[in-house]
Each structure stands twice: as structure tokens, then as C-alpha cells.
Structure 1
Amino acid sequence: MRVGGLGRGLRLFLLGGLALFLYLVIEQGVAELAQALKAAGWGLALVAALHLAPMTADTLGWQRLVPAGARLPFATMLWARWIGESINALLPVAQVGGDLVKARLLGQRGMPGDIAGASVMVELTLAVFTQILFTLLGVTLLVLHLGGGRIAHTLLAGTAVLSVLLLAFAWAQRRGLFSALVAALGRCTGRRDWRALTDSAAALDRAISRTYADRRALLGCSGWLLAGWLLGAAEVWLVMGLLGHPVGWAEALLLESLGQAVRAAAFLVPGALGVQEGTYLLLGTLLGLEPPLALALSLAKRARELILGLPGLAAWQMAESRAGGRKGG
């Protein structure tokens, strides 16, 4: 698919998601939702602050994948992760554009490009792997709460398909994925003078292979990433308390794990707009939550994304401006 066609496709998904979002908000009643969110009030700022906990855990895991001699200060990597999450949450980049920017930012701060790219690629793969484990925890809780059913079977089937795709992706990474992609692109375009691009792809492939060979780093990263997923459930627990309807940790884990799973599956819809809201409505109904309350949970998470994400986008633009200024000078 050409870039222009991909852009039009993402815009169509955005419009579809926006239409679904507006329908659900109007269907549940704007006044009722506003009343529910009003109860949270300034507590939403606390929700945003709490999100720094899983973000920190994720960054600690990501840092484990970088060789000691090439590591940047933790604060720098946390800053890059914040910007990457902001881009993925608020811009139509199929939830991966922020990861590319993370690698670029680390390169601007002095980390070798192949090491930065390898750390981002392997961390992204491990993030999906740990999310699969987190989703299985949510499915288990769902089965314990409701027994087996179509929803549980659908989630398990989707998880199985994703696991196979992830294994294939990891296998391809360890066997020169990026060199193969550059070679294929050269054959398609008929060009053979991409020596610099070919060398860069080969260096990235070697760095990825070295990263996968460090099992201690992989285990350490996976542990921190899984901790990050679990810490994310605290956000649901806090929001529901602020909304005046406290839930237990099991319910918070169920809502977070399955909500994140569906959001990941809807990666082509920018921010999973509308899809996330529909998911929380369905899961909330299964747990006995009133529909406006379940939808208010999703909107509170959206508010957190805006509170952290808009400054993150501004920080990205400032970083790019400074990088452009250094090149111009």
C-alpha cells in the first residue's frame, strides 16, 4: 500500500472511531457523563501522576536492553518514553510511530543508531509478549467471575493468533529482517545504490541479534514490563474510587487487561477512539457497572492521556527544533 493510501485508510478509521465515540457518548447522556466525571474533579491529575509508575517500570525494562557502555541517563530514557507514549496515544500513527521517535530521540542524545533501534524493536516485541500474559490473566479472571463464554473464547482465540504472529516476528528479527526488507525494496524499485541504507540495516540486524542473545536482559526487561502492565490496573482502581464506585483489585485487573488487549487489537484506529469506550461498556456491563459509569472510566483515561500527552507532544516539537538548530549551526 502506498503511503498516501495508508494515510487515507487511517483517516477513515479515525472518522469511524470518532463516529462510534460520539454515538456512545450521546447514547449514554452527556449530562450523566459530565456528572460522573465531575465527581472525580482534580483527582484526574492524581490519575495522571499515578501513570508515572507503569511508565517508570517500562523504562527500567527498556533500559535493561541497552548495553551498559551505551546507556543514557534514566531520566533521558524516561523522557523519550513519555514522548513516544504521547505520540502513540494522540496521533494517528497506528500505535507504533512513537516507538520510531523514541529511537530517533536516543540517537539525537548520542546513543548509536543501531543500538537505539535494536532496543526499541526488542522492547516492543517483549511488550506484546508480556501483554499476552497480562491478557491471559484477564481472561482467567473473567472465567472465574462469569464462567466460560463466547467473550472468553474470542479473547483466547485472538491471543493465540497474536502469539503465533509474535513468534514469527521475533524469528524474522533474529534472521536479518531489516536487511531482507531493504533488499526487497531494492528489487522492487530496481535500485542497487543503497549502500548506506544496506549497511545501516545490517548493523541494526546485528544489534538485534546481540540483544536477543542476552537472556538476562530479556528476562529483566520482561519482568519490568509485566510489572508495568500490573501497575496500570491501579489507574482503574483509583478512577473507580474517584467516580464513587470502588472496585476490588481483581475487577481492576480484569478491566485493565482486557481493555488494553482490545485497544491493542484496534491499533489502526487512532487512540482506539470509540473502540475503547465500547469495550469498557461491555466489560462494565458484565461486572454490573452502570453504563454511564463504565463510559466515564474510559473518558477519565482519555483525560489522563491528554494531561500527559499534550505536554509530551510539545516536548517532542521542542526536541526536534533543537536538533534542527544544531544541524543548521
Structure 2
Amino acid sequence: MLKYLALLLTAIGLAVALWFIGRTGFAEVAQGVASIGVAGFAVMIGFTAACLVILGGAWLAVAPGVPRQKLASFAWARAAREGATDVLPFSQFGGLVIGARAAISGGIRDSLVYASLIADQTTELAAQLAFTLFGVAMLSVALASGGHGPSMLPMVLGGTAVLAAIMAGFAFAQRPVLKMAQGLAGRLLPGSIATMAALRDELDAIYARPARVIIAFLLHLIAWVLSAFGAWVALAIMGHRLPVTSVLTIESLIFTLRTVAFAIPGGVGVQEAAYALLGPLFGLSPAAGLALSLVKRARDIAVGVPVVVAWQVSEARGLGRPA
């Protein structure tokens, strides 16, 4: 049922995206996509690679006891996670699983990988919430000055509230959920009790080092801002020069909408609708916004497909090794 739901949501998202592109004009959007050029596309991939290294560092920060030399393993695991989320037909949860498996294949013990993944996801959501609040503040000013506040601001605030609720639930429910899972595992799978207990111990050890958690939060915030700045650079290459703050605002809100719509694989349709509707408030035409959206999706495919293929190959080799 989940597979069929993912396919249905993807089909609906594609229909929405095509409707917005058709309404704007296929030729105009295609011209905008072509304007990025090979060199500009390479610059976008470079920004993505830099963000993945920073995200790997954030994950490493909440993995106490792991040497810095393992940064490459965490960056690779994060790349596998993002690649799976972007190009495979399931939601972010599948990407989390693949990212964890990639980290484990790097020689990091299972319990620490899963515990640090929970802490890393918490700090990432907290950093995104901070970035979103900046975007909401900027959008409130834009809506008030343009007279659109009464019609659009409630929807934006509602999305922010949902993101805050997700972040709070993820942060405060970690230990209760683990305790409940441990009790259930004790009844159904007695051999898993030790694993669940180790996971709780690892999580306690991570949060006993608040400085490392703060570092992870700051690295995630840097990654969010850098990713948005990459969109500003891409738009400049495409011939659309907007204030940096405007693009940061647009990107922060689109990141939020994609997170809230996590059940839709790749946020298909959500991202395109957001660019078409939010962009004009900050001087970005719908055609330019949709062109940027398509370029970003092309970049995700160009990075994600080779990463997922490489991960599949490494998994196959791991299965072929003698126990």
C-alpha cells in the first residue's frame, strides 16, 4: 500500500508541476533551463558537494568517539541518503535507512550510527526551523508591503507551525519511543533487548556532550544557508540578479514546504508550485522560478543516480563477502 501511495502522490505531483509549467509556458521555462549552461551546472554540483561534506561533519559531530578521519564515511553516507531521497520512489524515510547502512559499511558500529542519526536529524530540523523563521519574518514584511498578508500569511504560518511540531515531536519523543520500542522488542524479539538498550545508551552519551550537539546545529545551519546561496548563484548565472536576502527567503520557505510534505517523494509538484507562487513576491518570475526548480532536479539526478548506483554496488560486494 505504501508503494502505491508513493506512486499516486508522485503522479499527482508531476501533474501539478506540468500544469504550472504549461500555464507559464513550456518554451519560456525551457529557455531558462538552457541558460544555466554546462559551467553553471557544474557550479551547482560543486555547491552540492560542499554541502554534503558539511552535513557529513554535522553527523560526525554527534558521533562521539569516532575519529575525524571518518568524515569521508559520514559524508558518503549523507550523499547516499540524499541521493536515495531524490531519485528513488519513496519518501525521506527510505533515504534515512540507506544513509544508515552506508555509514555502517564504513566501519562504524550499528548502535552509534542509529543513535547519531537520531541526534543528527534533530539538530538538522532545529537548524531548519531557525532558517525558516528568518524566511517567515522576511515574507511577512513582503506580504504586508504588497497587501497580500491576509490571504497568504496564514498558510505560511501554518506550515511553519507544522514544521515546529515535527521538530518538537522528534526532539522530545526520542527516549519515550525508544523505551516503548525496547519493551515491545522484549516481548516479540527477546534477542533485540540488548540492541535497544545500547541505542539508548549511545543517545544518552551524545546528549551528555552539548557542545558537540551545538556544533552539529551550527553546521546544519551553515549547510541550509549555503544551499540557498547556491540557488542565488545559479539564478545570477541564468541572468536573474535578485538580492541575496530575497533568494534566501524563497529557498528557506521552499525547504520548509518540502519537509512538511515529506510523504511526497522528492517533493514533486510542491517545489514547483512554491516557486511559481512565492517567487513573484520577491521579484522572481514564475518562468525563472520553474526553470530553477527543473535545474535543481536535474542536478539532483546528476548527483543522486551515480551515488545510488555506487551504493548498490558496494552493498552487492558486501553481501558477496564471506561472513
TM bucket normalised to smaller? over 0.9
Conservation of the 8 A alpha-carbon contact between 1:44 and 1:303: no
Deviation at 1:69, TM superposition (A): 4.3
Q: Does 1:172 align with 2:173?
A: yes
Conservation of the 8 A alpha-carbon contact between 2:231 and 2:247: yes
Deviation at 1:135, TM superposition (A): 0.5
The corresponding residue for 1:256 is 251
Residues 115-159 of structure 1: CA deviation (Å, up to 9, x unaligned): 011111110111111111110011111123332444333322332
Conservation of the 8 A alpha-carbon contact between 2:163 and 2:260: no
Partner Cα distance (1:317, 1:158) in 2? 35
Conservation of the 8 A alpha-carbon contact between 2:279 and 2:289: yes
Q: Which moved more, 1:228-237 or 1:101-110?
A: 101-110
The corresponding residue for 1:310 is 305
Partner Cα distance (1:293, 1:106) in 2? 38
Structure 2: gaps spanning 5 or more residues: none
Deviation at 1:70, TM superposition (A): 6.1
1:189-204 matches, within 5 Å, as 192=187, 194-204=189-199
Partner Cα distance (2:101, 2:161) in 1? 33
Partner Cα distance (1:174, 1:70) in 2? 26
Residues 23-78 of structure 1: CA deviation (Å, up to 9, x unaligned): 22222222211111111111112111122222222111111111134665211211
- The letter of the residue matching 2:277 is L
1:219 alignment partner, one of 214, 227, 232:
214
Deviation at 1:245, TM superposition (A): 0.9
Q: Which moved more, 1:245-254 or 1:143-152?
A: 143-152
- Aligned pair count? 318
Deviation at 1:301, TM superposition (A): 0.9
1:91-130 matches, within 5 Å, as 91-130=88-127
Deviation at 1:193, TM superposition (A): 5.1
Structure 1: gaps spanning 5 or more residues: 187-191
The corresponding residue for 1:60 is 57
1:24 alignment partner, one of 7, 20, 24:
20
The corresponding residue for 1:189 is none
Under a length normalisation based on structure 2, what TM-score does the superposition of the two structures give?
0.92
2:131 alignment partner, one of 119, 130, 134:
134
* Residues 218 and 99 of structure 1, relative CA distance in 2, 3 Å threshold: same
Deviation at 1:299, TM superposition (A): 0.8
Conservation of the 8 A alpha-carbon contact between 1:88 and 1:98: yes
Under a length normalisation based on structure 1, what TM-score does the superposition of the two structures give?
0.90
* Residues 256 and 165 of structure 1, relative CA distance in 2, 3 Å threshold: closer
Q: Percent identity?
A: 34
* Residues 183 and 50 of structure 1, relative CA distance in 2, 3 Å threshold: same
Root-mean-square deviation (CA, aligned residues, Å) is 1.9
Conservation of the 8 A alpha-carbon contact between 1:13 and 1:270: yes
Partner Cα distance (1:266, 1:153) in 2? 17
Partner Cα distance (2:322, 2:293) in 1? 42
